[in-house]
Structure formats: C-alpha cells, structure tokens
Amino acid sequence: MTYYNGDGDNYLNPEDDIEPEHYALMIEYCDVNNDGNLHMCEVHACIVEMENAWRDENCPGYGYAYCECPVAPPTDCEGAWNCADIAMVAEDVMATYDTNGDD
C-alpha cells in the first residue's frame, strides 16, 4: 500500500503512483463503498477474498482465511463506530450480560 500511495493520503486513487490499468482493475473489484478511492481495509479485504477464491480452486476443503484489517477504517460520519469501537462494545455487552459462565 505504501509503495503505491505516492501522495501519502492513505488512499489509493488516480493521483498515486499506480498504473491506470491496475488501478481500474482494483477499483472494479475492491472499492466496496464506490467512492473511487481504495482505503487500506478495502485493499486488505480484497486480498483476503482473492486468497479464498484461490483456495477454492486449488485446495478445496482447506478452509478460508479470515483476517481483520490491521488498521481502523476511516469514518467521515461523526459518532460512527470503527471496528475497535465495535469490539469494545461487544466485550462490554458480553461482560455485562453473559452471567451464567457458559463461555
């Protein structure tokens, strides 16, 4: 991601050091929110999806990779939760309401 992100804005977009054909292909398959930019989490999810498609074809029954994005996705909506916020709330809910000790 850092290699292609020439302008340092943490998004891949046409202003970065990426070939137009490669960028167009990535936008087609990886731009989840259709904003014309690729955030690290979109690229990460796309790579995981490609890995799982490869496993389907080359190692059927092997199982899928599941990897959470290593960075928090950006939010342009004040008050919106990111993955770390959601995990914290889920842990709090479980600690508060899972009182029977059945794990």
**Which residues sit opposite 97 in a β-bridge?**
none
Please report whether residue 69 resides in a domain. yes
Residue 61: domain span: 11-97
Q: Going by C-beta distance under 8 Å and a sequence separation of 6 or more, which residues neighbour residue 15?
A: 6, 7
Give how many domains the chain has, as a whole number.
Answer: 1
The answer to whether residue 2 sits within a structural domain is no
Q: What is the pLDDT of residue 103?
A: 60
- Residue 18 has a pLDDT of 79
Q: Is residue 20 part of a domain?
A: yes
Give me the tens of pLDDT residue by residue for the chain, a chain 103 residues long: 555 555 556 678 778 777 888 888 888 988 988 988 888 888 888 889 989 999 999 988 889 988 888 776 666 677 777 667 777 877 887 787 777 666 6
Looking at residue 73, what is its pLDDT?
62
For residue 6, tell me if it sits in a domain: no
In this prediction, residue 86 carries a pLDDT of: 73
Identify how many contiguous H helices and E strands the chain contains and give both numbers: 3, 2
